[in-house]
Amino acid sequence: MKKFLFIQMIFGLSLFIMGGCSLQTTVPAASKYNLSADHVVKVTKNSRFSDQVIRMGVIESSALLSGSNIYYTSDNGQSYSYTKARWNEGIDKQLGNLMMHSITQTEIFKDVIPLRSLAQGELILEMNIYDFSQQIHEDGSTTLHLSVKLRVVDQYTRKIIATKLFDMEQKEKEGNVEGAVKGYNKLVSQLLLETNSWLEECCVK
């Protein structure tokens, strides 16, 4: 009798576990986003640094920009993150890669190398990201903010050759992650275009 009751208990427990499993739902994976930039790069032929290599320095930014979460704030200053959307890579890394590719195409320098490259360089490009944020307004629209400071530094003397602060914003009708990515891409495109123009002016012979 005890053996029979034990078998019934095991059977009932199995049904309970199987029933519980059947009620589980699959959580959809978060959508992944990348920054992109669309602009025309002007090749510079009269740069005084055309025979020198510039190295991408350490990008200084908030720790939040190194992660994959996509953040936004409301008009009252409260901060949130999208639950079903992520950056494919941290903003600091994405922005650094886009800038390195863009500057390389201008041919202002002999080459643009990453931070950990074993190649020798004469110059360093330092970047501080002060702001990279989305603000969603009560009317459903959104404003994107981007603030970046760049400086060209001599590798050996540590002298600052040129420095500039880029501060810009972009308004979009969509107060969601799609509106955020659309606005960020416009801002990044503008930043890269203005960076190349600035480098062309300060590096001219």
- Output 32 or 205, whichever has higher pLDDT: 32
pTM: 0.84
Enumerate the domain spans of the chain: 2-202
Q: Which CATH number fits domain 2-202: 3.40.50.10610, 3.40.50.1000, 3.30.460.10, 3.40.50.720?
A: 3.40.50.10610
**Is residue 184 over pLDDT 90?**
yes
DSSP codes of every residue in the chain: -HHHHHHHHHHHHHHHHHHHHHH--PPPPPEEE------PPPPPS-BTTTT-EEEEEEEE--GGGGSSEEEEEETT--EEEEEEEEESS-HHHHHHHHHHHHHHHHTSSSEEE-TT--S--SEEEEEEEEEEEEEE-TTS-EEEEEEEEEEEEETTT--EEEEEEEEEEEEES--SHHHHHHHHHHHHHHHHHHHHHHHHHHTB-
pLDDT tens, position by position, 124-147:
999 999 999 999 999 999 999 999
